[in-house]
Amino acid sequence: MKGGLLEVFVVSARGISHSNIIGKPSYYVIVECGSQSYKTKISSGNPKEILWNEKFKFALPANNLEERNYLKLKIMDEEFFSAGGFVGETRINLKGVILEGNEKGFIEVLPVAYNVVLEDDTYKGEIKVGLRFNPSNVCIFYKFFHNCNLYTITLPLPIYVVPFGSYKSF
């Protein structure tokens, strides 16, 4: 099975609530796949209409797809006096998406609502997420020593790699 590029579109949430001591809740989502993670912007406006509309890209190299079987979305509430309050989370199994994407050459799952699981394992609210997976024939890995992070870049074929991560396609 080939690896590829997974695009995650975090759209919105509804039916979730978290009480703040001061002010209205300000939600954000931490999106994790394997060791890669991103954070959405903080939602603004009405807590009943929680919108993010953000897209994130995850490189899924073929050699460690087993580590990336799940996409985890943790909904957090920005607190004034702490790092953030946990609201709930959703786990999305990626195995079927990756398999079908490899079979068909591409798969897109339009945004759909997933249940949000609270700390006590009950459900409250939902988060709307879309997915797109493009299998790739070439995954090139660069290790940049800036902050000791490993960046994975998935490139289309044919390519010629030049220094500093830029490339030309002919």
Q: What is the model's pLDDT at position 138?
A: 39
Give the position of tokens 């830029």: 166
8 Å CB contact between 126 and 113: yes
Closest CA to 90 of 75, 109, 108: 75
pTM of the model: 0.76
Beta-sheet pairing, 160-161 with 150-154: unpaired
Question: Other C-beta atoms within 10 Å of 88: how many?
Answer: 23
**pLDDT digit string (tens) for the chain, length 170 residues:** 788 999 999 999 998 876 665 667 789 999 999 899 999 999 865 767 799 999 999 999 888 777 788 999 999 988 656 666 889 999 999 999 999 999 999 999 999 999 999 988 999 999 999 999 999 853 444 333 334 444 444 444 433 333 444 444 43
